[in-house]
Amino acid sequence: MNFAFNEEQNAIREVVARFSAEVLAPGYRKRDQEGVIERDVIRQLGEMGLLGGELPEEFGGSGMDCVTSGLIIEEIAKGDFNVGYIPLLTSLNGQIIASHASPELAKEWLHGMTTGQKVACIALTEPHGGSDAANLRLKAEKKGDVYVLNGEKTSISMADQADVAVVFARTGTVEQRASGISAFLVPMNTPGITTTRFEDNGQRAIGRGSIFFDNVEVPANYMMGDEGKGFKQVMQGFDYSRALIGLQCLAVAQQSLDETWQWLTERTAFGQNLAAFQGLTHPLAEYQTYVHAARMQCYHALWLKDNNLPHNAEAAMNKWWGPKLAFDVVKQCLLAHGHTGWGEDLPFAQRLRDVLGLQIGDGTAQIMKNIIAREYLPK
């Protein structure tokens, strides 16, 4: 077993880390206040080859492995947690589109996504569904060579910033549950689509809202996968994104730890350097251990994916532990900074708000633990 990044990966890490520190970190608070991720920043990510690199070259990717994609998201999120969501969405939606859309449709959209010209969101959750993801009511009715979509999606990240959405809609009956759901690629400028934005505690630069479909006509060839099988076919891609989410959150935890370790060497109290007080260093040492272990777990899941090995349980572990641990770590770092940590001049409060959202979105801890239990209970 090799636990080291190779020379190429380390070179990529250095480039991304420098961009993240110099370009992304200074704008972290401003993006939160303005509630938007600038298209210029997204295009820069695309120009640097940091979006969808694991996709085949024919679709605009470079064929890099998933471990390297995780490394990229980790470094981006250290500078700006929210900007880290862009490569994550590109990877998740990109793999869905590349695997299940027609080659012509995939090329049309993926080249725009990998270059940073287009942004995709994923529209799954509905108002009455939540964690019961298969309980969908948004209806897609076939009429000639189009499907007509009617209904609402809610709690959709990037709902009002995306150019295209991967939309799950019911083409069968409600009683069929997952067996009656299909997936569509829907341009967000299609007539009949409107969006709203919620007022959230965190992740404001990403934004979250509802998407309304009022007699929205989607060409039949924009369906991805087989009719009635889209849910089961497409949901497999979420194992990949869960490992990436773990790294996105843990990056914030590690950055907060790095800053706090440094702080302890610079600040004095009672005539001593703060690093001399075990009441401060021991909690950080404990959390540093947890972060290291959780991070290795995320990369293990990505390694399993790269080697075409099952990683369902491992991905679920990444998703519930990463966001929770990140919140706990950032909280401890805020407390270690005392009254200065509580202010908005330092990034800890915003980081707390941002990482907390992923204890809810993309699958709660309870759902993740159900997945893990299913994998480990005797068959």
Quick one: DSSP state of residue 145? T
Structure tokens, 64:
């890099």
We report the CATH number of the domain holding residue 277 as 1.20.140.10
Q: Give the number of domains in the chain.
A: 3
Mean per-residue pLDDT over the chain, rounded: 93
Of the three residues 228, 258, 288, the one that is the final residue of a domain is 228
What is the C-alpha to C-alpha distance for residues 155 and 139, in angstroms, rounded to an integer?
18
Q: Are 144 and 189 part of one and the same domain?
A: yes
Q: What is the mean pLDDT of residues 229-256?
A: 88
What is the C-alpha to C-alpha distance for residues 35 and 59, in angstroms, rounded to an integer?
30
Predicted local confidence at residue 94, as pLDDT = 94
On whether residue 1 sits in a domain, the answer given is no
Q: Are 50 and 65 part of one and the same domain?
A: yes
Which among 108, 8, 89 is positioned nearest to 42, based on CA atoms?
89
On whether residue 264 sits in a domain, the answer given is yes
Predicted local confidence at residue 133, as pLDDT = 66
Contact 114, 51 (CB under 8 A): yes
Q: Are 27 and 106 part of one and the same domain?
A: yes
Predicted local confidence at residue 86, as pLDDT = 97
Q: What is the mean pLDDT of residues 62-79?
A: 96
Residue-wise pLDDT for 260-296, tens only, equals: 999 999 998 898 999 999 999 999 999 999 999 999 9
We report the CATH number of the domain holding residue 77 as 1.10.540.10
On whether residue 326 sits in a domain, the answer given is yes
Of the three residues 163, 196, 228, the one that is the final residue of a domain is 228
**Cβ burial, residue 227 (10 Å; 0-12/13-18/19+):** middle
Q: What is the mean pLDDT of residues 239-249?
A: 95
Contact 181, 171 (CB under 8 A): yes
Q: Are 245 and 357 part of one and the same domain?
A: yes
On whether residue 204 sits in a domain, the answer given is yes
Per-residue pLDDT band for 175 (boundaries 50, 70, 90) equals low
CA 119 to the chain's CA centroid: 13
- Helix H or strand E segment including 164: strand 164-170
- For residue 178, the enclosing domain spans 121-228
Q: Are 243 and 212 part of one and the same domain?
A: no
Q: What is the mean pLDDT of residues 192-208?
A: 96
Predicted local confidence at residue 221, as pLDDT = 94
Predicted local confidence at residue 121, as pLDDT = 96
DSSP 118-142: --EEEE---TTTTT-TT----EEEE
On whether residue 12 sits in a domain, the answer given is yes
On whether residue 48 sits in a domain, the answer given is yes
Q: Are 11 and 114 part of one and the same domain?
A: yes
Least confident of 52-66, 168-182, 190-204, 207-221: 168-182
Q: Give residue for tokens 């009956």.
A: 173
Which three-class secondary structure state does DSSP give residue 11?
helix
Predicted local confidence at residue 156, as pLDDT = 96
Structure tokens, 216:
């929205």
Per-residue pLDDT band for 172 (boundaries 50, 70, 90) equals confident
Question: Which pairing describes strands 164-170 and 120-123: parallel, antiparallel, or unpaired?
Answer: parallel
Q: What is the mean pLDDT of residues 59-64?
A: 90
We report the CATH number of the domain holding residue 133 as 2.40.110.10
Per-residue pLDDT band for 131 (boundaries 50, 70, 90) equals low
Answer whether 0.85 is exceeded by the pTM.
yes
As a whole-number percent, the residues of the chain with pLDDT over 70 amount to 98
Phi first, then psi, for residue 339 (nearest 5°) are: -65, -30
Which spans in the chain are helix H?
A: 7-19, 28-34, 39-47, 66-79, 85-100, 103-114, 230-234, 238-266, 278-306, 312-336, 339-342, 348-356, 365-376
Contact 235, 179 (CB under 8 A): no
Q: What is the mean pLDDT of residues 131-153?
A: 89
Predicted local confidence at residue 227, as pLDDT = 84
Q: Are 212 and 261 part of one and the same domain?
A: no
- pLDDT at 225 exceeding the cut of 80: yes
Q: Are 206 and 280 part of one and the same domain?
A: no
Q: Are 249 and 362 part of one and the same domain?
A: yes
Which contacts qualify for 13-19: CB closer than 8 Å, 24 or more apart?
13/71, 13/75, 15/48, 16/48, 16/50, 16/71, 16/72, 16/75, 16/76, 17/75, 17/78, 19/44, 19/48, 19/79
Q: Are 215 and 238 part of one and the same domain?
A: no
- pLDDT at 187 exceeding the cut of 80: yes
**Cβ burial, residue 169 (10 Å; 0-12/13-18/19+):** buried
On whether residue 253 sits in a domain, the answer given is yes
What is the C-alpha to C-alpha distance for residues 365 and 84, in angstroms, rounded to an integer?
21
Per-residue pLDDT band for 228 (boundaries 50, 70, 90) equals confident
On whether residue 2 sits in a domain, the answer given is no
Which spans in 216-237 are helix H?
A: 230-234
Predicted local confidence at residue 31, as pLDDT = 97
Q: Are 222 and 256 part of one and the same domain?
A: no
Residue type, 321: W
Of the three residues 75, 92, 118, the one that is the final residue of a domain is 118
As a whole-number percent, the residues of the chain with pLDDT over 90 amount to 85
Q: Are 125 and 250 part of one and the same domain?
A: no
Per-residue pLDDT band for 247 (boundaries 50, 70, 90) equals very high
